[in-house]
């Protein structure tokens, strides 16, 4: 059975939903993510329409071992934190994060307007995510779920 095209904004989203345990989950409370790819049953890669309220961040600063990521800015001017560098992005600008570089990144909305962007990432098995600023480690399990632990492997 096929689906008809729909408005991306009609796909349900929950403000601040995350895999992060407390106290880290509070840091993405101003993020609204619509999982567009999941809605259409995509399994090889994810596509999200994401909104960041003023002061919000896309996620904790992180880097993937196997997953490539890509962002395309639709509205607003987020700050891209990329390793030790910062770049203020504008609508129409994009960036790709190759896997395995060890360069941690995230977006922060330091402006007074909402930021909207598209993010795309693959779903490489056994991907591990490092968080250099926080005591977290995430591993993509074979069932597609993320396992989140302390850096030493102890569960939350």
Give 125-152 as a DSSP string.
TT-EEE-TTSS-EEEE-TTSPEEEE-TT
pLDDT one-digit tens code per residue, 133-144: 999 999 999 888
pLDDT one-digit tens code per residue, 24-77: 999 999 999 999 999 999 999 999 999 999 999 999 999 999 999 999 999 999
Local structure of 73: helix, strand or coil:
strand
Q: Tokens 């919000």 appear where?
A: 56
pLDDT one-digit tens code per residue, 104-115: 999 999 999 999
Per-chain mean pLDDT for the chain: 95
Given this model, what pLDDT does residue 144 score?
82
Domain residue spans of the chain = 19-126
Q: What strands, in cross-sheet order, belong to the sheet with 79-82?
A: 85-88, 79-82, 105-108
User: Residue range 105-128: average pLDDT?
Assistant: 96
Q: How many CB atoms lie within 10 A of CB 144?
A: 9
Q: What is the CATH T-level fold of the domain 19-126, as seen in this structure?
A: Jelly Rolls (2.60.120)
What percent of the chain lies above the pLDDT cut of 90? Answer: 86
Given this model, what pLDDT does residue 1 score?
59
Phi-psi sector, 41: left (phi>0), alpha (psi -120 to 50), beta? left
């Amino acid at each position: 059975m096929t689906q008809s095209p729909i408005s991306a904004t009609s796909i349900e989203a929950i403000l601040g939903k995350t895999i992060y345990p407390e106290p880290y989950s509070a840091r993405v409370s101003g993020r609204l993510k619509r999982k567009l790819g999941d809605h259409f049953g995509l399994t090889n890669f994810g596509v999200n329409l994401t909104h960041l309220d003023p002061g919000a961040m896309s996620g904790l600063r992180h880097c993937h071992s196997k997953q490539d990521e890509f962002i395309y800015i639709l509205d607003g001017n987020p700050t891209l934190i990329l390793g030790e560098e910062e770049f203020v992005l504008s609508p129409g600008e994009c960036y790709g994060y190759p896997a395995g570089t060890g360069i941690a990144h995230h977006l922060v909305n330091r402006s007074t307007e909402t930021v909207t962007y598209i993010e795309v990432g693959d779903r490489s098995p056994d991907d591990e995510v490092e968080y250099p600023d926080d005591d977290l480690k995430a591993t993509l399990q074979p069932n597609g779920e993320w396992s989140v632990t302390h850096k030493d492997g102890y569960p939350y």
